[in-house]
Amino acid sequence: MTSQPLSDTEPASKRVRVRRMPERGRYDAASVHAILDAGYVCHVGFTLPDGQPMVIPIAYWREGEHLYIHGSSKSTMTQALAQGLPACVTVTHMDALVLARSAFHHSVNYRSVVALGRFTRIDDPAHKMQALEAFMERIAPGRWAEIRGPDAQEMKATMVLSMPLDEVSAKQRSGPPKDDEPDMALDCWAGLLPFASGFLPPEPDPLLRPGIAVPGYLSSLAKV
């Protein structure tokens, strides 16, 4: 399965063109990939055949120009998306609160991606297993070699879906507040309140057998 390369300057369609603050829009693969690869959870929006709109948070991963998700083969979401329903996937990272001198100019520094398309179910057993391995390695590089892989029944119970990153745009805001000139004289603090997220030290399973140390790759992720 292939997809069209992303443009450095132009969106793939009018549907993903950034209209509000267009100078913040990005359409190149490097910008899109960097934002996607920094996250673990996306929101998938779609409309069920009965007309009910849905937005579901779910773990995701990227391989090349495709975004992958997985879930129970019997879930409403996976069964609906496997039919090829139009979907919208969003990923957002907050980087700072922007505190301005006026209420109007308060904002948020952020990085986001919006992708439109249709998911396809991965039926080929080898491709499906490779995709699940890629997901595990996305979570914690080196983990797949340590754990038991899924057996035949678990593979049957799991659906893996892929969506090409054909219609996609990134948008981001950075920098200090943009106050109006008359407000610059106000005796009010203004600036950024940076926001950061990350992993905390690993917490062992209470039933973990004694003598099993925390793997080095987890210590690295948690920076302990």
Tens digit of each residue's pLDDT (9 = 90 or more) over 83-111: 999 999 999 999 999 999 999 999 999 99
Is residue 192 situated within a structural domain?
A: no
Q: Residue 175: how many CA atoms within 13 Å on its side-chain side?
A: 7
pLDDT of 172 reads 95
- Alpha-carbon distances of 169 from 16, 44, 49, 80, 92, rounded to whole Å: 6, 15, 27, 24, 12
- Alpha-carbon distances of 6 from 69, 166, 201, 212, rounded to whole Å: 21, 7, 38, 45
Q: Output the pTM of the full model.
A: 0.89
| Burial (CB count <10 Å: 0-12, 13-18, 19+), residue 41 | exposed
Is residue 208 situated within a structural domain?
A: no
Is residue 219 situated within a structural domain?
A: no
Is residue 127 situated within a structural domain?
A: yes
Distance, in Å, from the CA atom of 220 to the CA atom of 214, rounded to the nearest integer, reads 10
* Domains of the chain: total: 1
Distance, in Å, from the CA atom of 112 to the CA atom of 92, rounded to the nearest integer, reads 4
- Condensed to tens digits (0 to 9), the pLDDT of residues 35-70 reads 999 999 999 999 999 999 999 999 999 999 999 999
Q: Are 44 and 161 in contact (CB under 8 A)?
A: no
CATH code of 22's domain: 2.30.110.10
Structure tokens at 146: 């340590």
- End-to-end CA gap in the chain: 40
**What residue numbers bound the domain in which 102 lies?**
14-176
Give the whole-number percent of the chain exceeding pLDDT 70.
Answer: 96
Is residue 212 situated within a structural domain?
A: no
Is residue 102 situated within a structural domain?
A: yes
Structure tokens at 124: 């080929």
Is the pLDDT at 3 greater than 50? The verdict is: no
Is residue 197 situated within a structural domain?
A: no
Distance, in Å, from the CA atom of 161 to the CA atom of 172, rounded to the nearest integer, reads 27
Is residue 200 situated within a structural domain?
A: no
